[in-house]
Chains A and B, each alone.
Chain A
């Protein structure tokens, strides 16, 4: 077990190394002079450009710059935003809670919709319930989040006036964005629940339990559902990444503060340090979450340790 854990954690190191390298190179892949582009809004003298260059350490050799970038990142220093002139780490700290809330609430919505839908489909296989659930799931997979978000605003905000359309802050503001993101994520969860449930229902021990005359619902809950949930947990890590990415769009639709809007705003404003820092943060979090999920999974399902 410990060996497995150590191996899993060590495997992350080269990936994180690569991620920092990729994010670091972004600045140099940009066509044109990044410093001039960043200072575009100000009328600048050559002096100021040189000063900026020095401030960003762009006058040093590349390996040294990269070393500094990684060393700073490890200390939690992700540079300074060109536009707000504030530390990128501060900007992230102010926005991370909002995005995490959205991702978690969406996950809850996705599970609350997806698991029952998948269960129904599996238990009533090949009936209209199955077909109906899977058609709904398919619609969910095909739905652009930005369109669903606009429809939600149209119905629940402009017409029914139940929830505020945009902004962040209290729980009321969380409802429509998390419904939007969660509904879309629920589609994948529903399909996954259905297929893993079908697999488990076909297993010998479930058949035996039923043959022994145990109540049908008892079998489903005690044996089948428990085992079917294991692969569903794995998808958590993957889905969490999708939710983080989905937040980029949904936050824009609902004008909700968060990491996604930070990135999009940064791209539009050519605020490279902000984009680099935030992208690095999101990617690193995603990698770490996946490690945690893997580790948790190993605890839940002993068979994993072999692999």
Chain B
């Protein structure tokens, strides 16, 4: 079952990626082009997924939104891994006082639950899509730092590392040859799941008005803008929401599958 799930996830993700890349060519029209005389048209012949309050084509906006969400997710997770992994590596490998200090810092960051840390960071950086990526990325640093640290610790206990140490292997060699391979698998699994989380958080921040700027076709903002039209034009907010859910679902399916495949120890 998990296997089938992973395949389904991969397929959905592949289709989404293709749609995102091909958005400029696949879109029926310009996602930010307004057409006041045909505003709030229901999904149908004229507009596949309807038109919004300014007469913009919802289908085109949803397609372009996929582009933004995937990029935002990738960059945020890259930031998180780029900062978190080295911290975890250093902390786990050298241990001692450095480890203690780094882990206390991580503990402090973990005291801000969920999206609260990202919110606090955005409040300092001022709203905007770029800053949202930074905030969501920084907020996820503790996750990766802890994960990598744990993997390093367990690898260090392994016999072959002891052996390499005993025969006088250099730190760098031991790190790259013996420890890194142990870190990569859980990192890939968690990173895939983390993509979903990052996309959700970034869309949430945009929904709150702290992220993307108009007229950008971004899913979170489209949902927020469609909120006042829920009754008369449900399609404005329904399709971007579906987009977010499908994308995150695909990431989760894939992540769960990868976990079974790469790292059976990491069961829920």
Touch test A–B (CB under 8 Å):
yes
Say yes or no: A142-B196 contact (C-beta < 8 A), given A195-B268, A242-B114, A264-B119. yes
User: How far is the CB of B246 from the nearest CB of chain A, in Å?
Assistant: 8
A287 near B268 with CB under 8 A, answer no
Cα distance, A18 to B111, chains bound together (Å)? 9
Most buried by A among B5, B124, B203, B227: B124
What residues on B are CB-neighbors of A14 within 8 Å? 104, 107
Cα distance, A267 to B116, chains bound together (Å)? 12
Q: Give the segment of A61-69, A80-88, A147-155, A200-208 that binds chain B.
A: A147-155
What sequence of 0s and 1s flags, for each residue 196-227 of chain B, a beta carbon within 8 Å of any chain A beta carbon? 10001001100111100000000010011001
What residues on A are CB-neighbors of B113 within 8 Å? 241-242, 244-245, 282-283, 286
B104 near A147 with CB under 8 A, answer no
Interface of B is mostly: helix
User: How far is the CB of A207 from the nearest CB of chain B, in Å?
Assistant: 21
Q: Which of A142-178 contact B (CB under 8 A)?
A: 142-147, 150-151, 153-154, 158
Partner of B253, one of A138, A267, A275: A138
A283 near B208 with CB under 8 A, answer no
Q: How many A-B residue pairs have CB under 8 A?
A: 140
B17 at the interface (CB under 8 A from A): no
What residues on B are CB-neighbors of A78 within 8 Å? none
Q: Give the segment of B28-36, B73-81, B237-245 that binds chain A.
A: B237-245
What sequence of 0s and 1s flags, for each residue 186-211 of chain A, a beta carbon within 8 Å of any chain B beta carbon? 00000110010000000000000000
Cα distance, A246 to B119, chains bound together (Å)? 12
B123 near A142 with CB under 8 A, answer no
A92 at the interface (CB under 8 A from B): no
User: How far is the CB of A18 from the nearest CB of chain B, in Å?
Assistant: 3
What residues on B are CB-neighbors of A31 within 8 Å? 126
B253 near A146 with CB under 8 A, answer no
Partner of B123, one of A21, A26, A126, A242: A26
Most buried by A among B126, B200, B208, B220: B208
B108 at the interface (CB under 8 A from A): yes
Cα distance, A106 to B253, chains bound together (Å)? 25
Q: Which of B98-125 contact A (CB under 8 A)?
A: 104-105, 107-109, 111-116, 119-120, 122-124
Cα distance, A282 to B117, chains bound together (Å)? 11
Closest to A131 in B: B1
Per the CB 8 Å criterion, the residue count for chain A at the interface is 53
Partner of A19, one of B108, B227, B244: B108
A138 near B209 with CB under 8 A, answer no
Q: Which of B226-268 contact A (CB under 8 A)?
A: 227, 230-231, 234, 237-238, 241, 244-245, 248-249, 251-253, 256, 267-268
Cα distance, A277 to B207, chains bound together (Å)? 23
Interface of A is mostly: helix
A264 near B208 with CB under 8 A, answer yes
A52 at the interface (CB under 8 A from B): no
Say yes or no: A282-B116 contact (C-beta < 8 A), given A139-B245, A144-B203, A147-B244. yes
Partner of B111, one of A134, A150, A249, A287: A287
What residues on B are CB-neighbors of A21 within 8 Å? 108
A268 near B105 with CB under 8 A, answer no
A249 near B204 with CB under 8 A, answer yes
Most buried by A among B109, B119, B244: B119
Cα distance, A242 to B5, chains bound together (Å)? 26
Closest to B227 in A: A150
What residues on A are CB-neighbors of B127 within 8 Å? 267-268
Cα distance, A146 to B211, chains bound together (Å)? 15
Closest 8 CB pairs of A and B: A245-B114, A241-B113, A18-B108, A147-B241, A142-B249, A142-B248, A267-B123, A245-B113
- Extra contacts besides A138-B249, A245-B113 (9): CB < 8 Å: A138-B5, A142-B245, A153-B230, A154-B234, A192-B268, A263-B119, A267-B210, A283-B111, A286-B112
